[in-house]
Every structure is written in structure tokens, then in C-alpha cells.
Amino acid sequence: MSQPQVAFLGLGIMGGGMARRLLGAGFPLTVYNRDPAKAAPLAGLGAKIAATPREAAAHAGVIISMVADDLAARAVWLGHEGALAAISPGAVCIESSTVSVGWVRALAAAAAADGGEFLDAPVTGSRVHAAAGELNFLVGGTAATLEKARPVLTPMSKTITLVGPTGSGALIKLINNFVCGVQAASLAEAMAMIERGGLDRAKALEILTGGAPGSPLVKLLSTRMTAPDYTPNFLLRLMAKDLAYAGDEAARHSLDLQTAAAALTVFKHAIAAGDGDRDMSAIVEQFRRPGPSTP
């Protein structure tokens, strides 16, 4: 069977690597990015460059969005120049961005109204995993639609897991990221205690990372905080967005995510200090600067 035409919307830290994986697997690919300069390098690899999401989606069997937030996602899917304005009957629309559950459900309904099928399929992993095709897709939707999309997802993935009906992928991704955000904030404070307390930092971190607190994320972030290396793998401001979305969704279920709220305060302080466009490990820098160290 011939490979379907794929449209990819959003070529940021994650999307650029994902699009390259699809090109490497031989899929005919049309890409769109709000900043055309990020799309230009893909033309040399065989991608077609579209001027609008609508142009990218025309004739595509699978359309994937990987953008920053709800606002950016609405911009690429909806409106006269949005992708839904051009979808073919039966096209699979995939929202891989980390967005709110409410947006995902609204987009699913809009896609169905225009004759498309829909999956929410956010991913876990960083820029490195996107480039290597080792992302974990967390899919909400039907098994039948996932099987249609699976050949396209496979070159980008380590695992593909159907977690439930529409919205389930978005929900588990927000839960995943709020737990990560809480770990990052607590590690930043722990690092400050180690440094201000005069401990041997290397020995202290060896104890933490080798013991019960030593999750893969804590190990990675402690290395980057120590270097320090804040080349973005995951933008700090996007983690703040995810914590906010998680808190809003929890409130709809009569839950108050107090740890997420506390972590969000620490992330907001880092953004106010100018660290929003650095890797999220830069959250520690607010505690290393002169002056008050608490938000």
C-alpha cells in the first residue's frame, strides 16, 4: 500500500525532529510553521512547504499538530486558513500538542463535523527523543482510528498506547507533566539547600539520585543544573503552561492540586526572572541570584 500524504503543523523543538523522522521513513510530507524560517531546512529533505495550515492539509490522509498551547492549536486547526477547512473525508486529525482536555474535545467534534477522524496523541519525551524516533504516544480515541494512524506514528515512536476514549491522552499527559513539574521545582529548592548549606554538591546529588528520589527526570535535571546547561530540551514556560492546564482540569473534577499550584508559583517566578525560554532546568537559577529567593 502507498504511504499516505502527511501534513505536519508546527516545527518547534519537538515538531522539527518528528517531521524529520517522517521524511526519513519516506512519507510524502507537507509542513507548516508560523515562522517560515523553521520550515525552510525541511525543503532540502523533501518536504513541501505550505503557506497556511489549510494548504498543508489539502489532500492529506493524516494531519498532525505539534504546537505550544490551546491558542496556537486553534490557530492551525480553525478558521478559513485552518487545517479543518481543507480536510478530506476520513482524514485522521491528530493533536499531539500538550493542550487542555476541553480543547481536545472541541477539536474532536469540529473534526467529525468536517468529515474527519480524530486522535489526541500527546507524547512524552524531549527534543532528543523526538529526533531519535523514541517518543511515547499517549492516545485518546478509537482503536480503529489508531490503526489507521499507526503507520505514521511508528517512525516517531518508542511506544504507542491507547489509553482510552477522546480526551484520555490529553488528560494523562497533563497528569504526567504536573508530576514532572513538581519534581523539577522541588529539585531546584533542594539544590539551593545543598549549595547554601555548604555541602559537597557532588556527594549530595549522588545520594539523592542514587536513592529513592532518583527518578530519571531528577537525574537528568540535576546534571543540567550542575553544568549548568540550559539549552532547551523542554522550555520552562511550557512546563508552567502545563501546570496551569493541569490545575484547571483538576478543578473541573473538584480537585485542588496544591503541589502543582506551588510548583507553578516557582515556575512563574523563573519566567519573571527571564528564564522562560531556557530549558526547564533553569528553574534553579532564581535561587542562585542575589536577593529574595522565594516568589
Distance of CA 115 to CAs 90, 92, 93, Å?
6, 10, 10
59: helix, strand or coil: coil
In tens digits, the chain (295 residues) has pLDDT values of 579 999 999 999 999 999 999 999 999 999 999 999 999 999 999 999 999 999 999 999 999 999 999 999 999 999 999 999 999 999 999 999 999 999 999 999 999 999 999 999 999 999 999 999 999 999 999 999 999 999 999 999 999 999 999 999 999 999 999 999 999 999 999 999 999 999 999 999 999 999 999 999 999 999 999 999 999 999 999 999 999 999 999 999 999 999 999 999 999 999 999 999 999 999 999 999 986 555 4
**Residue showing cell 515556575:** 267
For residue 34 the three cell numbers come to 508560523
Alpha-carbon distance values, 87 to 42, 58, 64, 291 (Å):
23, 6, 12, 54
Q: Is 173 a catalytic site residue?
A: yes
Are the beta carbons of 6 and 30 closer than 8 angstroms? yes
8 contacts 94 by C-beta, under 8 angstroms: no
Contact 239, 267 (CB under 8 A): yes
Which of 27, 87, 23, 102 has the alpha carbon at shortest distance from 55? 87
- What is the CATH number assigned to the segment(s) 171-287? 1.10.1040.10
The grid coordinates listed for 280 are: 526547564
Give residue limits of the domains in the chain.
Answer: 6-165, 171-287
Q: What pTM value is reported for the model?
A: 0.95
Catalytic option among 38, 173, 241, 268: 173
Q: Which CATH architecture has domain 6-165?
A: 3-Layer(aba) Sandwich (3.40)
